[in-house]
Amino acid sequence: MRTDWATLPEAVTKEVADRVGGSHISPAATGDHAEIAATVTGTAEKVFLKAAHSDFGVRSLRFELRVSEAVSGSYSPAVRWHFEEAGWLVVGFEHCDGPHADLSPGSPDLDLLGEALAALSKKEAPDVGLFSPKARLGFEHPAMDGDTLVHTDLGPANLIVTSGGLRIVDWAMATKAAPWVELAMLVPWLIGSGHTPKQAETWLAQQSAWTTLDSSVLDDFATNNAEKWALKSSQNTVKPRVWWRVD
């Protein structure tokens, strides 16, 4: 849940201004997990700043910081600096300039994503206390276990197409799992971007982690995932109000 920049204590905003050289703030238009998420521009640099104050927010941002430092590859924005002040954890990331990826059928951004997925599938999970598949998804299957770093949230809002290539942001849900888990979690995003299920599967079949996967494992994943989201959406349904007449 986002908090307004104005709620940051002066000690924090001063420290940020000192680091970037003054500050022009532009809050992020997408995402809603981080308490503060904004582009901060100064005379010295332009960073993407995330900050947290609540217990949960600080734990989550601290985790994201650890993962981001460990990932620090060409697909992930570098961590420029971080500090703690007045109960806030503040992280300045390399700013990625560009639009969100377009994942619709035929989009050239799909090629960029395909390259990134192939590279990620070879990336060994860093030892930074990543989520297990069960902790991340709420269900498990032995085939989901693995040693790969899996982002698990590769929706367009977390994919930025820069002039230097695709950047993947928001590593707050990073998981240690088998590489196909990343691909399976991408299916709803592809369908949401206009692919038919068949088109999504055809596109994913370019990845070796997909073609070597036993179809019964994938069926099990799809069933569990669908059940999880059906349950979530039934719990979120606004229940009609019940009125009692007390005469």
Ligand X SMILES: Nc1ncnc2c1ncn2[C@@H]1O[C@H](COP(=O)(O)OP(=O)(O)O)[C@@H](O)[C@H]1O
Query: Footprint of ligand X on this chain (CB under 6 A)?
Result: 28, 30-34, 37, 48, 77, 93-96, 157-158, 160, 169-170, 172
Residues 59-118 that bind Mg ion (CB under 5 A): none
Residue with Cβ nearer ligand X (57 or 146): 57
Q: Which one among 170, 183, 203, 204 touches Mg ion, defined by CB under 5 A?
A: 170
28 binds, among ligand X, Mg ion, none (CB under 5 to 8 A by kind): ligand X
172 binds, among Mg ion, ligand X, none (CB under 5 to 8 A by kind): ligand X
CB 51 within 8 A of CB 61: yes
CB of 28 to Mg ion, least distance (A): 8
Residue with Cβ nearer ligand X (63 or 210): 63
Residues comprising the chain, all counted: 247
119-to-24, 25, 105, 209, 230 alpha-carbon distances in Å: 35, 34, 22, 12, 33
Determine if 126 is a binding residue for Mg ion (CB under 5 A).
no
CA angle centred on 149, ends 83 and 106, rounded to 5°:
105
Cα(135)–Cα(14) distance, rounded to whole angstroms? 38
Residues 31-60 that bind Mg ion (CB under 5 A): 31
Residue with Cβ nearer ligand X (29 or 246): 29
CB of 11 to ligand X, least distance (A): 23
CB of 133 to Mg ion, least distance (A): 20
CB of 178 to ligand X, least distance (A): 24
Beta-carbon contacts of 165 under 8 Å, excluding residues fewer than 6 positions away, are: 74, 75, 112
The first and second tokens of residue 84, run together, are: 């703690």
CB 93 within 8 A of CB 49: yes
Residue with Cβ nearer ligand X (193 or 207): 193
CB of 101 to Mg ion, least distance (A): 13
Residues that bind Mg ion (CB under 5 A): 31, 158, 170
